[in-house]
Structure 1
Amino acid sequence: MKLLVNIDHVATLRNARGEGYPDPIEAARICEGAGAAGIVFHLRGDRRHIRDEDVYRLKDSVRGKLDFEMAASDEMLDICTKVDPHLCTLVPEGREELTTEGGLKMETVFDDFKNRVFPKLRKTDIEISLFLDPNPEDIQLAHELGTDAIELHTGTFANASEGKKQHELTRLRKAAKMINELGMKANAGHGLNLENLPDLLETVPNLNEVSIGHALISKSIYWGLERTVKAYLETIEDFYG
């Protein structure tokens, strides 16, 4: 199982002062040097953290997997096909949200994805991933679309009370099993940190990748980026060897 590091909030800190530092591309280099298998970024419509120039610089500099998170707008589809990342993860995006608040509602987006989004991305070699809550109905519709992977939204688990945490882990375990049985890759992300990641890995054995950003970047303020990435890798290795 691989660790992908989301470097969005390095750009958030940079943008707070309008300076050229800290540089998210340098952060990506350090993460990969510490052993991360790849880098995730989310180019939002409002450009609140990652900017267009960052995207092209990441494409030129990242040596591992590059995962382009985005809303399925025509603007983002055009940029994504030009950049040609390894993976495109389609996520819902609300202008007022602080961060992505949940998975795609497949009944709502199915026809649009089938007729507009997937045909454009399928003209490239970019793998497609959909960011979904662990709902069987959404997973089945994603399979019908022919998506390559599903990133399971782990935010509900991460924020659950102790009494509800096991219920959410069970949902994630069943969802990952279903995804694998349908021939898709099961990824996971959102709200994961060094405290809750072991519970996820112990309960959900069928994951291909985890994407971790905010907690990792926050911890690196105290520990440094290299040490923090290695701590996450050690946690993963405890379960996956």
Structure 2
Amino acid sequence: MTKLSVNINKIATLRNSRGGNVPNVLSTALACERFGAEGITVHPRPDERHIRYQDVYDLKAEISTEFNIEGNCQEQKFIDLVLANKPTQVTLVPDALGQITSNHGWDTIKHRDYLKEMVQLFQEQGIRVSIFVDPDEEMVEAAAETGTDRVELYTEAYAAKYGFDKEEAITPYFKAAKVAQQVGLGLNAGHDLDSNNLRYFNEHIPGLLEVSIGHALIADALYWGLEETIKRYLAALKA
């Protein structure tokens, strides 16, 4: 079964919009675990507009499932944060400074040597490494040359096309997944996966180990409640 890691950035966004500590990020993460989520994901950014760096320390001390920290390893503060907390997994994402949300994967050919250095740095501390990539067979193949453990497929394009042509939407992801299998990489996925498109994606992507979902899941929880929402997302991953 594909694991569900809940990205709790949006909980932190809501908290920060009012000040104080409501909703509580740590309490939400622990509730997600109780309700069946197999991992917690955070994506801290330098301006701390949602997840604060202190949140990462607080979460690391309390959560019992897999902890995944996403972010831009070109920021030294991010590197220091990851090394200080030693999460289960670090996902390397090529965010630009001030970027609202992730919108592309790494060029693993152009940045191969740099990524190889970063992968080695984190792996030496016992941290599993995943590289965020577009559903491009060449990018997946080149990612293997960095020594990374996994790649995470950027799924925004799939989500955008899903309502118009599911087969066309899934095709590049299926091909990229097959390459990942051939070169021995574990496979994650994330970005704009939701309650409508998740089941189909999971059913058609071979070797999918983990999805990281935040925005859509938290939005659905406004209507269904957090426990029921996680239950529905887990059901979509059991196919």
Q: TM-score normalised by the shorter chain: which range applies?
A: over 0.9
Identity of aligned residues (%): 39
Moved more, 165-174 or 204-213: 165-174
Would you say 1:127 and 2:128 are equivalent positions? yes
Give the corresponding residue for 2:100: 98
Q: How far apart are the structure 2 equivalents of 1:77 and 1:228?
A: 33
Q: How far apart are the structure 2 equivalents of 1:76 and 1:170?
A: 34
Moved more, 81-90 or 204-213: 204-213
Output aligned runs, 1:7-86, within 5 Å: 7-72=8-73, 73-86=75-88
Q: How far apart are the structure 1 equivalents of 2:40 and 2:162?
A: 30
What displacement does 1:136 show? 1.2
- Shift of the 100–217 alpha-carbon distance from structure 1 to 2, 3 Å rule, reads same
What displacement does 1:79 show? 1.1
Secondary structure at the residue paired with 2:187?
strand
What displacement does 1:46 show? 1.6
Q: How far apart are the structure 2 equivalents of 1:181 and 1:169?
A: 19
What displacement does 1:97 show? 2.9
Output aligned runs, 1:171-186, within 5 Å: 171-186=172-187
Moved more, 92-101 or 193-202: 92-101
Q: How far apart are the structure 1 equivalents of 2:81 and 2:20?
A: 25
Q: How far apart are the structure 1 equivalents of 2:63 and 2:205?
A: 29
Q: How far apart are the structure 2 equivalents of 1:69 and 1:37?
A: 16
Where do 5+ consecutive residues of structure 1 fail to align? Answer: none
Where do 5+ consecutive residues of structure 2 fail to align? Answer: none
TM-score (structure 1 length as normaliser): 0.94
The one-letter code matched in structure 2 to 1:198 is R
- Retained in 2: the 8 A contact 1:107–1:138? yes
Q: How far apart are the structure 1 equivalents of 2:138 and 2:114?
A: 17
Secondary structure at the residue paired with 1:145?
coil
What displacement does 1:165 show? 4.0
What displacement does 1:98 show? 2.2
Q: How far apart are the structure 2 equivalents of 1:9 and 1:138?
A: 29
- Shift of the 23–172 alpha-carbon distance from structure 1 to 2, 3 Å rule, reads same
Q: How far apart are the structure 2 equivalents of 1:140 and 1:204?
A: 17
The one-letter code matched in structure 2 to 1:25 is L
Give the corresponding residue for 2:151: 150
What displacement does 1:21 show? 0.9
Structure 1 or 2: more helix by fraction = 1
Moved more, 124-133 or 217-226: 217-226
Partner deviation per Cα, 1:14-35 (whole Å, 9 max, x = no partner): 0011121101111111111011
The one-letter code matched in structure 1 to 2:89 is L
Give the corresponding residue for 2:217: 216
- Retained in 2: the 8 A contact 1:170–1:203? no
Give the corresponding residue for 2:230: 229
Partner deviation per Cα, 1:164-220 (whole Å, 9 max, x = no partner): 542230111111121122111111110000101122122213201111110000111
Aligned residues: 237
Partner deviation per Cα, 1:153-174 (whole Å, 9 max, x = no partner): 1111101264454223011111
- Retained in 1: the 8 A contact 2:116–2:147? no
- Shift of the 233–53 alpha-carbon distance from structure 1 to 2, 3 Å rule, reads same
TM-score (structure 2 length as normaliser): 0.95
